[in-house]
Chains A and B, each alone.
Chain A
Amino acid sequence: MVDLILFFIPSALIIIGALIVVFAKNPVHNAMGLVMTLVSIAIIYITLNATFVAMVQMLVYAGAVMTLFLFVIMMIGVDKKEQSSESIKGQTFLVSGVFLILISILGYVAISSEFKWDLWFEAVEFAVEGTPQLIAGTLFTAWIFPFEIISILLIVATAAAIALAYDSKRKKNDV
């Protein structure tokens, strides 16, 4: 019973948040819908014993990334008229096609599993806790090379952003 509550309430919040992201007219409301989705996903992670991933999800996505989103939205200004009037050619057709495929996949899964709700994993006795020690142990031994490559990639991206934004010709007293 507790399993069901812990699964369905965050899932419902995820879906509602995602719908807000798509349908709300105001950019700030969109952003807050995304925050709701991200935080609810963190709750799902906690129920799956991945506490570390849950906290990082909260800290990085819900905390830092979305705050930056909001900051940018406010700097640009939200009071301007909506700029979503331009539409991709055949937008409605494409979207309804994708929606139809999605519905048919969901229907196929539901029918082929004979409408049984065994969507969650069964309780295992030796459930692995997603502890920081475990993740760090794997990340810094077996996966150290990809990890370092990703960090180099991030530094390159940061340096490139600074190089693009920095105007070297500008005079010093101009700043």
Chain B
Amino acid sequence: MSIELIISLVKANIVLAVLLTNTILLIWFERKVVAGMQSRVGPDRAGPFGILQTLADAIKLLLKEQILPSKADRAMYLLAPLIALVPSFLIFMIIPLGPDITVEWQNALYTIPLVGADLNVGVLYFLALSSIAVYSVVLAGWSSGSKYPLLGGVRASAQMISYEAAMGLALVPVILYSGSLSLVDIVNSQSGNLSSSIPILNTIVSFIPKWNIFPQFVAFGIFFIAAVAEVNRAPFDLVEAEQELVGGFHTEYSGFRFAMFFLAEYINMFNMCAITATFFLGGWLGPTFEGILPPIFSVIMPIIWLGVKTFLLLFVFVWIRATLPRLRYDQLMELGWKRMIPLSLVWLILSAIVLGLREFGLPWS
């Protein structure tokens, strides 16, 4: 067996382990933060600070009965949770966790990129898989053979298509700035600090890292809002609006199949934050404190930086959920089609003009 194959297999297992452990932490994190914002205690029984509460819930869900509604469309009903879970794992494969590391083993040097797969069409891969994820919600809603899940499913298909367009358009200026569709190249293009041709401005901005969020703040705003909508989190959680639709698309699911939807939602949330950090916040870039910390930290620090950025964004996700009321359906569509898509188009044209001027100079000069 070749060493590359072994490395790939180990990577796949690491992705599985990281995402599952991380989800357990993330659910606990969300419950604790929301509890803090609402002056409650939150989970505090299982384990220290209640950190094992999610594990207990997962075991409970595994042991519960799995109900198949009599009116359900059997094949689609069983397929939907799988379609939810698989893309969420696949998206994580393209997120670069750090620079390439070189390992010496049996007198041979091996370069291991800390990314599942460095695709030259990484951005499109991400968009394609997140559009595949829509099917899980739509199919789950339709196949349950019940009216509330069906309403949730119909809402989901409209909502996710609307916001995917804005999300894709918000990414185009970033691709223009970085000059690549590969996520590894996008991260590398953000290294260093900002610079300006005007001397006074240069002294000010040269302290700021060259992250895409600074020149592309509008794109960041659009992308972040669209990301919240894409993973169906509050205030865009009309798909599973408890007060109107019982549980939305997953009303009829129980036991482990419900757990799969739950898992997929949190993995998607984590992916979205990690992708946002990669596109706009410099990904794994950050000081490694070489010389101060032991040399192993030059490998670990990038992963820690990506984790810190991701969890900051996740905190914002939870913060938004605890603060904002849910949008009405027509408001949601209006925000998507009438505000965010035109704004992202205007911003795309502006960025293209600025980049063109920088590259080729003024047209009459």
The interface of chain A, by Cβ under 8 A from chain B, is: 26, 28-29, 32, 35, 39, 51-52, 54-56, 58-59, 62-64, 67-68, 70-71, 74-75, 78, 129, 131-132
Among candidates B75, B124, B132, B135, residue contacting A52 with C-beta atoms closer than 8 Å: B124
- Given A28-B142, A74-B153, are A58 and B132 also a contact pair (CB < 8 Å)? yes
- Nearest Cβ distance between residue B183 and chain A, in whole angstroms? 13
* B-side contacts of A52, CB under 8 Å: 121, 124
Among candidates A28, A51, A56, residue contacting B76 with C-beta atoms closer than 8 Å: A28
Among candidates B127, B138, B157, B160, residue contacting A59 with C-beta atoms closer than 8 Å: B127
Residue contact B181 to A132, C-beta cutoff 8 Å:
yes
Q: Dominant SS at the B interface? A: helix
Q: Mark B112-153, 1 if CB is under 8 A from A, else 0.
A: 000000011100110111011011001100110000001001
* A-side contacts of B142, CB under 8 Å: 28, 70, 74, 78
* A-side contacts of B160, CB under 8 Å: 67
Among candidates A55, A67, A132, residue contacting B134 with C-beta atoms closer than 8 Å: A67
Among candidates A35, A56, A67, residue contacting B157 with C-beta atoms closer than 8 Å: A67
Q: Does B73 contact A (CB under 8 A)?
A: yes
* B-side contacts of A70, CB under 8 Å: 135, 138, 142, 157
Q: How far is A44 from B75 in the complex, measured between Cα atoms in Å?
A: 26
Residue contact B73 to A26, C-beta cutoff 8 Å:
yes
Residue contact A55 to B121, C-beta cutoff 8 Å:
yes
Residue contact A74 to B154, C-beta cutoff 8 Å:
yes
Q: Does B37 contact A (CB under 8 A)?
A: no
Residue contact A71 to B158, C-beta cutoff 8 Å:
yes
Residue contact A59 to B128, C-beta cutoff 8 Å:
yes
Q: How far is A58 from B135 in the complex, measured between Cα atoms in Å?
A: 13
- Nearest Cβ distance between residue B41 and chain A, in whole angstroms? 42
Residue contact B150 to A74, C-beta cutoff 8 Å:
yes
Interface residues of B in 161-197 (CB under 8 A from A): 161, 164, 181
Residue contact A59 to B76, C-beta cutoff 8 Å:
no
Q: How far is A129 from B182 in the complex, measured between Cα atoms in Å?
A: 15
Residue contact A74 to B127, C-beta cutoff 8 Å:
no
Closest 4 pairs between A and B when the two form their complex, measured CB to CB: A63-B131, A58-B128, A55-B124, A59-B128
Residue contact B119 to A51, C-beta cutoff 8 Å:
yes
Q: Mark B266-280, 1 if CB is under 8 A from A, else 0.
A: 000000000000000
4 further A-B pairs in the complex, CB-CB below 8 A; given A55-B125, A62-B128, A63-B132: A63-B128, A70-B138, A74-B142, A131-B120
Residue contact A28 to B73, C-beta cutoff 8 Å:
yes
* B-side contacts of A32, CB under 8 Å: 76, 79, 135, 139
Residue contact A59 to B150, C-beta cutoff 8 Å:
no
* B-side contacts of A71, CB under 8 Å: 138, 154, 157-158, 161
* B-side contacts of A59, CB under 8 Å: 124, 127-128, 131
Among A26, A70, A78, find the residue whose CB has the most chain B CB atoms closer than 10 A.
Answer: A70
Residue contact A67 to B138, C-beta cutoff 8 Å:
yes
Residue contact B73 to A67, C-beta cutoff 8 Å:
no
Q: How far is A52 from B180 in the complex, measured between Cα atoms in Å?
A: 13
Q: How far is A74 from B142 in the complex, measured between Cα atoms in Å?
A: 8
* B-side contacts of A28, CB under 8 Å: 73, 76, 139, 142-143
Among candidates A29, A67, A75, A78, residue contacting B131 with C-beta atoms closer than 8 Å: A67
* A-side contacts of B132, CB under 8 Å: 39, 58, 62-63
Among candidates A29, A68, A75, A132, residue contacting B75 with C-beta atoms closer than 8 Å: A29
30 A-B residue pairs with CB within 8 Å: A28-B76, A28-B139, A29-B75, A32-B76, A51-B119, A51-B120, A51-B121, A52-B121, A54-B121, A55-B128, A58-B129, A59-B127, A62-B128, A62-B132, A63-B127, A63-B131, A63-B164, A64-B164, A67-B134, A67-B138, A67-B157, A67-B161, A71-B157, A74-B142, A74-B150, A74-B157, A75-B154, A78-B142, A131-B120, A132-B181
* A-side contacts of B158, CB under 8 Å: 71
* A-side contacts of B157, CB under 8 Å: 67, 70-71, 74
Residue contact A35 to B73, C-beta cutoff 8 Å:
no
- Given A28-B142, A32-B139, A35-B135, are A64 and B161 also a contact pair (CB < 8 Å)? yes
Q: How far is A65 from B150 in the complex, measured between Cα atoms in Å?
A: 20
Residue contact A56 to B124, C-beta cutoff 8 Å:
yes
Q: How far is A26 from B120 in the complex, measured between Cα atoms in Å?
A: 39
- Given A71-B158, A132-B181, are A62 and B76 also a contact pair (CB < 8 Å)? no
